[in-house]
Homo-oligomer: A and B are copies of this chain.
Amino acid sequence: MAPKSTPDELVQAARTGDRAAVARLLSIVERGGSEAHQVGRATYALAGAAYTVGLTGAPGAGKSTLTSAVVAHVRRSGERLSVLAIDPSSPYTGGAILGDRVRMGQHALDDGVFIRSMATRGHLGGLALATPEAVRVLDAAGFPWVLIETVGVGQVEVEVAGAADTTVVVVNPGWGDSVQAAKAGLMEIADVFVVNKADRAGAEQTAHDLESMMDLTDTGRWRPPVVRAVGTTGEGAAEVWEAIGAHRAHLEGSGELGERRRARVQAELDLILEQRLRAKVESLLQPGARAAVDADVAAGRLDPWSAADEILHPLDA
């Protein structure tokens, strides 16, 4: 692979198993901009075979350890898989591969696993737009599974994890953790619940709390199973994978998988349109104009319709 390879050449190399090409494509996607859109164009038609699994939960819930245990379980069956760790708090992850090796050290030398962190990028849409692009790179590179693990439960991370085919929500034993999950909006996106660190006191109570909340909001459709696991020992990893498989079978059997994916890509297009329209308006505004208009509206000097006229006036010029 020449150092000046084009995105198309990199995609071709990635499809023959060139891991360095995959890594470079992900760096391009993470940076954003026109080169990233070239990668997007090159991978879109090649993608669609990979199944995506989002894993989310509060910081400290042991998501990384649980993911590692699940990866180890899957690898025993010989299946290849990739992991995207989403970390909006990290300003830059150009050197993330080293960090990832430390994080999931046991898989560092396994060619059947590809692990990569993604952090905030400067370009519009950030992780909510970069993640599906990164998934398509891994998909086009032939990984049949892409696990998307989030570091925290910020709004973006919940969106990103919720935009997977199957979303796993990880909670811990102890009073209040299911409450935190509900507050973070995780009840709505969960397809599978995992009570991780289930060897600690309170695991039964937490599982019971989750079941109670589901009783109250049961939609009559898929009801997320609650699985106990201990990431550090690998206990329960097989059951977690089994629950993911059951949800996948449900989505495939009901035709919901295709619907979900179509809705997802439309939502992605909507988000791109929104971001680009916003950028267009911003580019037409004088710096600080929106803030000045907001202040006038708050002070009662300007009604919202006149404010919109002022902001959008450059568009009509």
Q: Write the residues of chain A forming the contact surface with B, with a CB cutoff of 8 angstroms.
A: 37, 40-41, 43-45, 48, 178-179, 182-183, 209, 212-213, 216-219, 262, 265-266, 268-269, 272-274, 276-278, 280-281, 293-294, 297-298, 300-308, 311-312, 315
Complexed CA–CA distance, A216 and B278 (Å): 38
Give the most central of A43, A293, A305: most B CB within 10 Å.
A305
Copies in the complex: 2
Q: Which of B178, B280, B304 contacts A315 (CB under 8 A)?
A: B280
A120 to chain B, nearest CB (A): 19
Q: Are A305 and B40 in contact, with the CB atoms below 8 A?
A: yes
In Å, the complex CA distance between A45 and B216 comes to 45
A300 with B183: in contact, given A41-B306, A272-B308, A305-B272 (CB under 8 Å)? no
Closest Cβ–Cβ distance, residue A162 to chain B (whole Å): 16
**Which residue of chain B has its CB nearest to the CB of A294?**
B266
Q: Write 16 A-B pairs (CB below 8 A) sorted by A numbering.
A: A40-B304, A40-B306, A41-B305, A45-B300, A212-B216, A265-B297, A266-B294, A269-B297, A272-B304, A272-B307, A273-B311, A273-B312, A276-B308, A277-B277, A277-B312, A280-B312
Chain A: interface secondary structure?
helix
A307 touches B179 (CB 8 A): no
Q: What B residues does A209 contact at CB under 8 A?
A: 216
Q: Which residue of B lies closest to A178 (CB)?
A: B216
Complex formed: what's the CA distance from A44 to B306 in Å?
Answer: 10
- Beyond the given A41-B303, A277-B281, A277-B315, please list 11 additional residue pairs across the A-B interface where CB-CB is below 8 A: A37-B306, A40-B305, A43-B303, A48-B300, A179-B216, A179-B218, A182-B216, A183-B219, A212-B216, A265-B298, A273-B312
Chain B: minimal CB distance from A270 (Å): 9
Q: Tell me, in angstroms, the Cα distance from A315 to B316 when the chains sit together.
A: 11
Determine how close the nearest CB of chain B comes to the CB of A278; give it in whole angstroms.
Answer: 8
Closest to A273 in B: B308
Contacts of A305 in B (CB 8 A): 37, 40-41, 272
Shortest CB-to-CB span from A284 to chain B, Å, is: 11
